[in-house]
Amino acid sequence: MATIFAWFHRISPEEYRRATEVTYLGFVYGTMAALKRMRPRNRGTIVQVGSALSYRAIPLQSAYCGAKFAIRGFTDSLRTELMHDGVDVHVVMVQMPALNTPQFNWARNKMSRRPQPVPPIFQPEIAADAIVYAAHSRRREVWVGGSSVQAILANKILPGLLDRYLAKKGYTGQLTDEPADPEQSDNLFDPVSGDPDTHGRFDSRAANYSLQLWATEHRGALITGTFSVAAFVITLIARGKPLARVYRMPAEPARLDEPGH
């Protein structure tokens, strides 16, 4: 991926084209390469790593958000073609939350302060877990993190309200109090030297666990358990047995030294 933290009117056509080529066409060309091998074998899974920003765009990242929207449209179109042709290659898109990756150290930044992921922030291992799960789940999409679910659903219900909210809060949520370094190298056109590792600089603020992802990965067992409990309760009610009576503790057995025993 490649992104630019800047107002749209301060992004040059060359910068916009480069961010789009990397973030959008990188997915397209990678998918082409994969399908050249998967179609003849008639099997395989392609995991497109998306973002909650493919549903709900935010300010200061118009190039990145536009590319993520494009990836989702491309993926939906490709999926229908494969279904039409009867090709047993599965395509799934994983919609990620804010992640503690090095992208916020090397992204091109034209703001006066250093960028950050919009909290809550998750560690990249959660993203890896979700990708492995998606590769075997046969799901159409996998949403990761409660924040992604909230953003996607809220945008479906109240998009205008989110527009106004992000106009007021979307800038400060993406910027830290640290001043930006105007000499900082970025990876928009060339790789940044050195090994950046997998984690960014937000380890102290990033969550190592997502209850929402766990529930997604175990939704079959959760649904079965919920139906089992519901069926048990309905059966008790139908038989006229109050739940309090069912769960009443058994009476303490009489002691042998009591009178009459």
What pairing do the DSSP bridges indicate for beta strands 113-115 and 175-179?
Answer: antiparallel
Q: pTM for the full model?
A: 0.83
Strands (E), 175-261: 175-179, 206-207
Confidence at residue 238, expressed as pLDDT on a 0 to 100 scale = 73
pLDDT score at 239: 72
Q: Who has greater pLDDT, 160 or 222?
A: 160
Pairwise CA distance, residues 147 & 107, whole Å:
23
86 conformational bin, left if phi > 0, alpha if psi -120 to 50, beta if neither: left
User: What residue ranges define each of the domains in the chain, with the CATH number in brackets?
Assistant: 4-208 (3.40.50.720), 218-250 (no CATH)
Give 76-92 pLDDT, tens digit per residue. 999 999 999 999 999 99
Helix and strand numbers (H, E) in the chain are 10, 10
Quote the pLDDT of residue 86: 97
What percent of the chain has pLDDT above 90? 79
